[in-house]
Amino acid sequence: MAKFGVEFVPSEPYWKTTFYAIQAEKKGFDYLWITDHFNNRNVYVALTAAALYTEKIKLGPGVTNPYLINPVVTAQAIASLNEMAPGRAILGIGAGDKTTLKSTGLEMHKPLTAVKECVEIVRRMTSEKSVTFEGDIFRTNDAKFLFKPRTEIPIYIGAQGPKMLELAGRLGDGVLINAGHPKDVSYAVGRVEKGLERSERGLADVDVAAYTSFSIHENLEKATQAAVPVVAYVAAGSPEVVLQRHDIDPEKAEKISKALRAGKWGEAFGLVSSRMIEAFSVCGTPEMCMERITQLLKSGISQFVVGSPIGPNVRKAIDLISEEIIPHFEG
């Protein structure tokens, strides 16, 4: 039986994101992921509100990064969330979005090392009395909490490139594969399995999720229009090897990236092609979405994440997914 997750971007007032979280839980979703970008509302404020108004859905950032947020602070935040929602907190960690990091003046320096050290620090901070850590990027000296964190918190590593996927398989309790096309997901699962070999675990021992840009509507054109802005960001941040896999011109992706950084939204969105929509989203009518999800499940994933934009109207899209999509994959 497939597990279903949903991603919300806290770009709207907190009460609206909280309403969506309540709706998602009632409609059968298992996981709630909230994105962490400095230009939206704070991820942990949004997660706290959602935790207070839900009872069983697992919830966490999808994903935070070690450049903007120090690992010790991330450990503090996720441990605090897990105290409010015992056993429900999950943590998504990734290297971050290049376009967003550039706008803050930060560089994605040694991403593999940064993520690896972040995972270790968070795990140790939430399980040990004090932590002294000497890494290539991060250091702690007798760092300790004045409260005792509850239970272990599953850490999911967000990954797209081959080395990060292998690291995710080696270290993660779960993997968030930033892809929605069968070619990309099949390749990614293979890389995750390579990492799992080094940890002496198998695919069944981790929760492997396809973290997709998703847009559903009974009308194909409306579903596609809603997907364009998110696909623009995905295309702009995709490694060249991924672009080449789908015959997408890297120069065109770079033009989209420059337009996004300059705030020229119309220009950026206008450069998004139908090939990009096909490669970087699960988009269309319920029947079309079910067909793509079926293909992805055959690749070895155990969780399918309905990511932004979800649909032209989020509330209606959640209803449509719960009525048409989730029941199809139950049992």
pLDDT tens, 28-53? 999 999 999 999 999 999 999 999 99
- In this structure, what token pair is assigned to residue 37? 């970008």
Instruction: Record the pTM.
Output: 0.94
**Domain boundaries along the sequence of the chain:** 3-218+285-329
- Sign of the C-alpha dihedral computed for residues 93, 48, 233 and 263 taken in this order: negative
pLDDT at 1 over 80: no
- As its CATH architecture, domain 3-218+285-329 has Alpha-Beta Barrel (3.20)
Burial string for 92-117 (b: 16+ CB within 10 Å, else e) reads: bbbbbbbbbbeeeeeeeeebeebbbb
- Burial of 251: CB neighbours in 10 Å, binned 0-12, 13-18, 19+: exposed
What is the residue type of 93? I
pLDDT at 331 over 70: no
In the DSSP assignment, the letter for residue 321 is I
Over residues 276-281, the mean pLDDT reads 97
Q: In the beta sheet, which residues pair with residue 294?
A: none
> Which residues lie below 8 Å from residue 218, measured CB to CB, with a gap of 6+?
285, 286, 320
Distance between CA atoms of 84 and 48, rounded to whole angstroms? 8
High-pLDDT (> 90) share of the chain, %: 90
**Can you list the pairs that 98-105 forms with residues at least 24 positions away whose Cβ atoms lie under 8 Å?**
98/236, 98/237, 98/257, 99/233, 99/236, 99/237, 99/257, 99/260, 99/261, 100/37, 100/38, 100/39, 101/65, 101/67, 101/68, 102/261, 103/39, 103/261, 104/38, 104/68
Contact yes or no for 149/143 (Cβ under 8 A): no
Give the relative orientation of helices 43-52 and 14-26 as an angle to the nearest 10 degrees. Answer: 50
In the DSSP assignment, the letter for residue 27 is T
For residue range 48-70, list pLDDT tens digits in order: 999 999 999 999 999 999 999 99
pLDDT at 160 over 90: no
Q: For strand 174-177 and strand 155-159, is the pairing parallel, antiparallel, or unpaired?
A: parallel
